[in-house]
Structure 1
Amino acid sequence: MLKPAALPFVLALLALADAASAARPMITDDARLTDAGACQLETWAHLHSRQKEWWALPACNPGGNFEITLGGALAYSEGERESGALLIQGKTLFKPLETNGYGLGLAFGYATQPGNGQSGSPYFYVPASWSLADDRLVLHGNLGYTRERENQDTRLTWGLGSEIQTSERLYVIAETYGQDKGAAFTQVGLRYWVVPNHVQIDTTWGSQFGHMRDQRWFSIGLRLISPRLF
């Protein structure tokens, strides 16, 4: 499952959308959907030096090849409540990801960011994924555009990410992402299945190139996937 510089994670989300759509804890999205007929809930805390954000992003795939996500965040800056964030996104696949193969899709949506007086941004991007070594290594690439309504600027967005399976339940993730203007972001993290395919916990550390000390953040999250509902 982006996103620019005052709040690294949120701006990454706007540029790549993916916070929302990429499987936690990645920002770079993958060519996968929530299980057909099922729903999932991704929730996490994003802790920046001056701001704390609490995110919840429910998503459902009722028809099998179209996933819709609708959620948002509460934000606090230096202890003071700020306006929250909202994200709505649709996603479909042209080619589902297969073991030792590739997948390709399309995602589009509209997102606002935490902070008083912030406007929203429509966006779209193409997620592509490649499976290697029987899914023990999966690579992801995103390319898209976002329209920043506040300054009437259209920007190219991109992301490159990887998932490495180190045991039956543990994965290591690493990625970099950004826009055609400004320094890129990077993050590394862990993903662990408490209950395989249904309950996952994760954590990340990230920052922005050129501002590694000032812009660093930490996140911890929980992902719940339902059985088939539809």
Structure 2
Amino acid sequence: MALCVLLAAGAAQAARPMITDDARIVDAKACQVESWVKSNRGSTEYWAQPACNFTGNLELMLGGARTHGDQGTQTTDIVFQGKTLFKTLEPNGWSWGLAAGNTRHPQTHNGLIGDVYAYVPVTFSFRDDRVLLHTNLGWLREKEARKQRMTWGVGTEAQLSESTWMIAETFGQNQGKPFYQVGLRYWLVPNRVQMDATYGNRAGSSTQERWLSIGLRLLSPAFLP
């Protein structure tokens, strides 16, 4: 599950609930808040990740998680990330960017620097934005283990109706079996309020590493100075 946490942190600005990030950012001078509950075997995570775009092409996110498990409730992750685009997405076109961040685990990390990561998100648009394909390729440095790893992800979004989207993805590292996740996303208020639900697991695993999530995403109009 540590891999899921790190990749979830790296995907903070992908449209919830995807872990594979998209090459898009919050609108200029606007903000969003993504929150979700993730039920694992033996624990439950409560996430909140606010993000704002102050300059027009730099999205900054600061968020974290509290986990309730056998050892009670504790703060398990604090995440800071910046993301920018080098090419913006247009219908039937493509875009790419760069994201980098830091995930700190208060129980194991001393100081402000924890696990450091960076990745390149690329998004392809098909059928006038009704089908989107996302790919990620990145790098992760685990502070406690003193190891460096390659990370990757491939995901797709498909519009089923005016308000409903289906998502499917697979992601992992250069070692071990990959994870997968499938789910639905529904706009309660178009472009402002969104709900989602997913199921995820590791390929070839039983129920030991499976998770369920339900989330709420809020997006603001432009209001920042």
TM score, norm. by length of structure 2: 0.94
Distance 1:8 1:211 in 2: 15
Instruction: After TM superposition, give the deviation of residue 47 of structure 1 in Å.
Output: 0.5
- The Cα of 1:210 is off from its aligned counterpart by 2.5
For 1:202 and 1:61, how far apart are their aligned partners in 2? 23
* Cα-to-partner distance string for 1:175-198 (whole Å, 9 max, x where unaligned): 000100111100001011100000
- Measure the CA separation in 2 of the matches of 1:112 and 1:103: 29
The 5 A counterparts of 1:67-216 are: 67-78=59-70, 80-113=72-105, 116-117=107-108, 120-216=114-210
- For residues 122-164 of structure 1, give each alpha carbon's deviation from its aligned partner in whole angstroms, at most 9, with x where no partner exists: 1100000000011111000000101011111110000000000
1:63 CA displacement: 1.1
Alignment length, in residue pairs? 221
The secondary structure found in structure 2 opposite 1:197 is coil
C-alpha contact 1:8 1:208 (8 A) present in aligned 2? no
Q: Counterpart in 2 of 1:59? A: 51
Partner of 2:5: 10
Q: Percent identity?
A: 50
Matched position secondary structure for 1:215: coil
Q: Say which is worse superposed, 71-80 or 123-132, in terms of deviation.
A: 71-80
State the AA in 2 paired with 1:161: G
After TM superposition, the runs of 4+ consecutive aligned structure 1 residues lying more than 6 A away are none
Report SS of the residue matched to 2:16: coil
Q: Determine the C-alpha separation between the residues in 2 that align with 1:121 and 1:79.
A: 23
Amino acid at match of 1:116: Q
TM-score by length of 1: 0.92
Letter in structure 1 aligned against 2:183: G
Unaligned residue ranges in structure 1 (runs of 5+): 1-5
Q: 1:7 to 1:145 in 2, by over 3 A?
A: closer
Report the residue type matching 2:100 in the other structure. Answer: F
CA contact (8 A) 2:3 2:172 kept: no
Relative to structure 1, the CA distance from residue 7 to residue 52 in structure 2 (aligned partners, 3 Å threshold; closer, same or farther) is: farther
Contact 2:108 2:144 in 1 (8 A): no
Matches of 2:138 and 2:3 in 1, distance apart? Answer: 18
Structure-2 separation of matches of 1:117 and 1:60: 29
Distance in 2, Cα, partners of 1:9 & 1:179: 10
